[in-house]
Amino acid sequence: MQKEIWSAEAPARPGTHLLVMLHGYGADEAGMVRLFPSLPAGVTGVALQGSFPVGDSFGWFLLDPYLGSDTSEVLEAASGLLARVDKIRAGGSYTGVSLLGFSQGMAMATTLLRLRPAGFRAVVGLSGFIAENELLAMAEPLPEPVPYFWGRDRNDWVINEDAIVHTENWLRENTALTARTYPGMGHSIGPEEARDVGIFLRRYVSTPP
């Protein structure tokens, strides 16, 4: 059973907005806890452990050094994660659900949005990319642009230029995009970025739409 870490105890969760937080490749749910202090009032975060083993750590699907992946594996992982999110949501009285993903977690969060475009109020993608998927692209652009925060360092060596170009094009065509860059941050989550994520969430999800 995959682990999860919550930003609030169970009695404080009803009536809040649920933010599902997805870590990167070769990491685990504990890496997302650093963002808990940035979550605004009315937002409950749950950091989930990935389902794909990477040594002693985890990811969401097999990833090669060029960020390539097998479409069927990505869709299978996303379908399993959607079922997991549905189960978590059914266990509490939440006002809605949003997604936050770091690195490969951004690819997974966006795949969930592509599979269920009306199911999430907003998405946050940090230092990541969007997995190419010709099958899902046939039904795009998405019918309703969802607010999307994309934060990164332009000199992030992990995310190659081709992936950046594809990600930017997709986000501009399919979402209501807020894009920010943070020089010197590298492939990580910086304090200024965490602050801006909190501002974004406060605007789009901590109050009713």
**CATH class of the structural domain 4-204:** alpha beta
pLDDT value of position 25: 94
How far apart CA 69 and CA 110 sit, in angstroms, is 15
Mean pLDDT per 10-residue run, the chain (209 residues)? 92 96 96 97 97 93 84 92 95 93 97 96 97 89 96 96 96 98 97 97 80
pLDDT value of position 208: 56
**What's the predicted TM-score (pTM) here?**
0.95
pLDDT value of position 65: 81
Rama region for 44: left / alpha / beta (φ>0; ψ in -120 to 50; rest): beta
pLDDT value of position 207: 59
pLDDT value of position 15: 93
* Domain ranges for the chain: 4-204
